[in-house]
Amino acid sequence: MSATEQADFVKNHLGPAFRDANITTRIIIFDHNCDHPGYPITVLNDPDARQYIDGSAFHLYGGDISALSTVHNAFPDKNIFFTEQWVGGSSTNNFAADLKWHVKNLIIGAPLNWSKNVLEWNLASDPDYQPHTPGGCASCLGALTIGTSISRNVSYYIIAHASKFVKSGSVRIGSSGVAGLPNVAYKTPEGKKVLIVLNEGSSTQSFNIKFGDKYVITSLEAGSVATYVW
């Protein structure tokens, strides 16, 4: 679909059908790469389509994660979602580089640009990257490889740095931007603070974490990720 075709589909077909059948499932538009933020903006510019739309979804196989903010700034009342990113298996798999890129751009970058979620592709596969639908991804590395034993792969650790600590209902809160140490912070429903930090540099970095009148001094080795909770 072009953007104008999608707007037409939502306003004249899908939206009214959901309304008439009392279906409350959210309608999320676009669901594609960050190199075309003009697409969801064009769809949302149509007021008759916009009334049925909950928000826009993105992948990052092209463009820059800041595109999420471009769309948010144009329509701040509509949600932003990050719905897919793969980790390649076989010869393309590089644990250290994949960990750093995905944490920087997705776990940290997507929420900093207003995304309400992050989804990694895919959850699990066997050692031959099965099962998948005909024509589907034949080399997508699951977070888990399930064979005669279970292996935890890079996506497991990418997601775990957030999912084990940033519970449903948490909200993003402000944190200082520090060169070489991208980070994102949250407040959980229980009132705990969660800070996820990546050292994207080539040497160990020491830094302070300050909240109110208290602070701690810590450090991260090159390429490392840490989650801090208090």
Chain centroid to CA 160: 13
Instruction: With cut-offs at 50, 70 and 90, classify the pLDDT of residue 89.
Output: confident
Residue 42 lies in a domain: yes
Mean confidence (pLDDT) of the chain: 96
- Kindly state the average pLDDT of the residues 43-60: 98
Residue 217 lies in a domain: no
Residue 19 lies in a domain: yes
- Kindly state the average pLDDT of the residues 60-85: 98
Residue 89 lies in a domain: no
Residue 66 lies in a domain: yes
| Residue 112 tokens, joined | 């900093």
Question: How many separate domains does the chain show?
Answer: 1
pLDDT digits (tens, 9 = 90+) for 24-48: 999 999 999 999 999 999 999 999 9
Q: How far apart are CA 41 and CA 38, in angstroms?
A: 5
- Kindly state the average pLDDT of the residues 121-145: 93
Residue 77 lies in a domain: yes
Give the range of the structural domain holding residue 65, as residue numbers without chain letter. 1-84
Q: How far apart are CA 213 and CA 222, in angstroms?
A: 29
β-bridge partners, 229: 194
Flag whether pLDDT at 93 surpasses 90.
Answer: no
DSSP 8-state secondary structure symbol assigned to residue 179: T
Flag whether pLDDT at 60 surpasses 90.
Answer: yes
Residue 67 lies in a domain: yes
pLDDT digits (tens, 9 = 90+) for 139-164: 999 999 999 999 999 999 999 999 99
Residue 17 lies in a domain: yes
Q: How far apart are CA 133 and CA 143, in angstroms?
A: 18
Instruction: With cut-offs at 50, 70 and 90, classify the pLDDT of residue 169.
Output: very high
Assign 227 to helix, strand or coil: strand
Flag whether pLDDT at 91 surpasses 70.
Answer: no
- Give residue 128's pLDDT: 93
